[in-house]
Copies of this chain bind each other. A is one copy, B any other.
């Protein structure tokens, strides 16, 4: 979401094509749009190559009022943001279900204020059901991206719930997470990291009787 403050005091969220370059840069730097855009582009690349089908879910909105200024042209005139039930991204890769939340951090830690409790619960549900689930975090000032598998997120989250630190420091990602390679195409080659964690090392996947 790219929000721009207008002279009349209102905020507008607009498609990149309609934005001025200045507004685009402002909102990009502020909201980590660059990171999201790079993940979306990587997903387009994976889809084109027949490697994976992973999509960002639409922003959930509670629509209250719709006008029809012209035939077949519905205009929503009153709506509100809703809390997302799940995570940003999900899809299929190597026949597996994959699900993750993507966040960009300016700070040298990932605060639990950045993610909803029920999103953590959702990632844990996916892990329990045998899926691939994680958070992918960009430390924007360091230009480093890490995948942190759900079982490690759970450990740090449980610590926070029991009076521990309310954030995960960068050092924890560096020591326990998995660095993601960046490049030209795909810009964020996170599925290579997924290969390493879940298919080569076969770690952080739920073991059960069927295995």
> Which A residues lie at the B interface, using CB under 8 A?
1, 3, 10-15, 47, 50, 52-53, 55, 57-68, 74-82, 84-86, 90-93, 95-97, 99, 122, 125-126, 128-131, 210
Contacts and interface: CB of A to CB of B under 8 A. Distances in A.
B52 A129 contact: yes
A57 B59 contact: no
B63 A63 contact: no
B11 A67 contact: yes
| This chain: copies in complex | 2
A95 B47 CA distance: 21
Most chain B CB within 10 A, of A50, A53, A84, is at A53
B80 A74 contact: yes
B78 A131 contact: no
Given A125-B47, A129-B52, A76 B74 contact: no
A50 B129 contact: yes
